A = this chain, B = another copy of it.
Amino acid sequence: MHPSLLQDAGCPKEIPHNEKLLSLKYESLDYDNSENQLFLEEERRMSFLGFKCLEISRWVICGLIGFLTGLIACCIDIAVENLAGVKYFVVKQNIEKFTEVGGLSISLILWAVLNAAFVMVGAVIVAFFEPGAAGSGIPQIKCYLNGVKIPRVVRLKTLVVKVCGVICSVAGGLAVGKEGPMIHSGAVVAAGVSQGRSTSLKKDFKIFEYFRRDTEKRDFVSAGAAAGVSAAFGAPVGGVLFSLEEGASFWNQMLTWRIFFASMISTFTLNFFLSIYNKKPGDLSSPGLINFGRFESDVSVCLLLCGLLGALFNILNYWLTIFRIRYVHQPCLQVMEAMLVAAVTATVSFAMIYFSNDCQPLGPDQSEDYPLQLFCADGEYNSMATAFFNTPERSVRSLFHNPPGSYNPLTLSLFTLTYFFLACWTYGLTVSAGVFIPSLLIGAAWGRLFGILLASITPDGSIWADPGKYALIGAAAQLGGIVRMTLSLTVIMVEATGNVTYGLPIMLVLLTAKIVGDYFVEGLYDIHIKLQSVPFLHLEAPATSHWLTAREVMSAPVTCFNRIEKVGTIVDVLSNTSTNHNGFPVVVPVAMGKVCGLILRSQLIVLLKHKVFVELARSRLTQRKLQLKDFRDAYPRFPPIQSIHISQDERECMMDLTEFMNPTPYTVPQETSLPRVFKLFRALGLRHLVVVDSENRVSYCVH
């Protein structure tokens, strides 16, 4: 009973056991305009000036998106810095007090409790109010850009919970970063701003009404995601490439340029407000939430380290996630797990610091933010504490830039090992958190370790002396092994480093990490997308799928409507919950099922709601004609069919779909090979594709 369409742009043959789940939980975005009569009339009425105005508003919106995203990043940064600052100050005071008199266990408890408390707040709001805000949100945004609508992913509530959640989890000392969530935040901002209204707040500004459809919204969400990357890493070009790499199926120059504009504004805003906050207005030295600092020297370090550790991380996290899906699905349990992780993180860190005897002299410039003396001599600090007793961002920077000799190899190996498992356990908790920074931190640690070992082996140690560069390369390798983004990650790393000459080694390392990692397991985001059973449309059809034809992969049988259809029939079809389909071919009845159009569920719902019946039109001549505005007002939360009351009399009326259906839907002959169909779906962002026979009749049509 469902349409002859390759519905829900997935690859149904690959994961057949999930098919039912897929079609119920996730819907595809419609990147193809429904070019019905109303739409064409509106476009034809619009003057050249009108199009210019639309173009200008698109730019204005992108500017706004960039500005707001930058502002949010700024707020997160300030909040985290202050909260973490207070926490570390209190704990430091406490440790210093008890180092003399003994009883450091009290400090440990204080630290663990503080961490757990922060994380509890973060976990509670996520678990109980908006589970969609969990994690980094990058898999969800990947899906959205790919054309899959994940429920509630771009809501205002999600944004609020996300922002508060990420502040709590970073301040709570978890092995997480605040960068990933920025991408999600940017996307939500974009989805909100571009619609000119908030459905949650029930406020309609009556602006940007033209943009209330999937096509335009998705374009803006791309810009938002790019602005998020840009704010997170100070990498505007990286942001553009992220959006393109993950989402764009169709390269549009103007769109790309707008995305770039949003990214630029975003990093500029962040920079501007942070420099004011840091009382150095006009300095503009913090383009992103994380900045690796400038690497000056030009020695090209070609260190081909593999993505093995990244793959291991992914495999462990995969098992953990499956365990979580099975056993930890109660919100209370989730909150408790998050608190447990927070407490364990504090305990492990404390133990590592406590048993470490790696004392380093305090530099004259006091570059350490919270130097812990502990059992070291006066004028020295505990080196392990630099890595653990700090926000991860600062730890990464110190691993990159601290002079050779700041860490001894044992410290680094222990740190790598413990942080690896902590980060792996943390990702997937019910808190808002990113995996970028932990990955970088792990990689930086073993990269630096490798650099130190290499320097001790090679006779001429001078060239290989700076272990900070190895830390950078290691960070790239680890991150690449975990997330597997390629082009955009290279650019992000280069932009965050501020030195173009590292491009080649970084790129080689990322490529190796990707090849090695792909040999074992997919990227972390792809794993999570798969575990959520999202019908993700990959870049290309499987290589060996030329055997399959459109007829074999289409959903069949197909429900068709007549051009002039009985209201009762439509209501029955829409109410049928066993086939919850969203697009229906319209056929010419006399010609035995020849396609003449395509109508969407959402359009039918609006028609039913406004009772656009042939009989009523005749009797109520004064009734105004239905306009495109009515469809836009209902977007995107169309009411369910159950909420629309149709009386028994009305069921006997007829509805004329001619004006509202798309009279020129894309069609393919039923012998078309799967790769060809796939290319159409991917290149045009289709949601529905009608399969026809040589007579232009809908295949397997049921009326």
Contact = CB atoms under 8 A, between A and B. Distances in A.
Interface stretch (A194-202, A409-417, A469-477, A678-686): A678-686
A406 interface: no
A495 B500 contact: yes
Nearest to A507: B264
Given A249-B250, A254-B539, A257-B487, A40 B673 contact: yes
A672 interface: yes
A610 interface: no
A695 B696 contact: yes
Contacts of A667: 667
Interface stretch (A367-375, A542-550, A644-652): A542-550
A487 B256 CA distance: 8
B546 A694 contact: no
A595 B236 CA distance: 49
Given A500-B495, A501-B498, A596-B694, A487 B543 contact: no
Contacts of A245: 253, 256
A491 B260 CA distance: 11
Contacts of A261: 511
A638 interface: no
Nearest to A246: B253
B694 A588 contact: yes
A251 B250 contact: yes
Interface stretch (A43-51, A115-123, A345-353, A429-437): A43-51
Given A256-B487, A487-B260, A546-B43, A664 B683 contact: no
A293 to B, nearest CB: 12
Given A503-B237, A683-B250, A544 B48 contact: yes
A572 interface: no
A643 interface: no
Interface string A644-670: 000000000000000000011001110
Interface in A377-413: none
Given A498-B499, A547-B44, A669-B664, A251 B248 contact: yes
Given A40-B673, A251-B249, A257-B487, A695 B694 contact: no
A506 B264 CA distance: 11
Contacts of A680: 684
Given A264-B507, A507-B264, A511-B261, A546 B254 contact: no
Given A51-B544, A287-B501, A594 B491 contact: no
Interface string A551-567: 00000000000000000
A244 interface: yes
Contact of A676 (B35, B256, B285, B679): B35
A300 B35 CA distance: 46
A202 B250 CA distance: 39
Contact of A694 (B51, B252, B594): B594
A542 to B, nearest CB: 9
A240 interface: yes
A696 B594 CA distance: 9
A237 B696 CA distance: 46
Contacts of A669: 663-664
Given A498-B499, A673-B40, A676-B35, A257 B486 contact: yes
B676 A671 contact: no
B35 A503 contact: no
Interface in A217-254: 234, 236-237, 240, 244-245, 248-254
A531 interface: no
B696 A254 contact: no
A260 B507 contact: yes
A185 to B, nearest CB: 21
Interface string A685-703: 0000000101110000000
Interface in A296-321: 298, 300
Contacts of A253: 245, 486-487, 539
11 contacts: A43-B546, A51-B543, A237-B491, A237-B494, A249-B251, A257-B511, A284-B300, A287-B501, A500-B500, A594-B695, A664-B671
Given A284-B501, A498-B499, A679-B684, 20 more contacts: A48-B544, A237-B503, A240-B487, A249-B250, A249-B251, A250-B251, A252-B539, A253-B487, A254-B539, A256-B487, A264-B504, A264-B507, A264-B508, A268-B504, A498-B501, A500-B500, A591-B695, A663-B671, A664-B668, A680-B684
5 smallest beta-carbon distances between A and B, as pairs = A696-B696, A51-B543, A43-B546, A664-B672, A683-B683
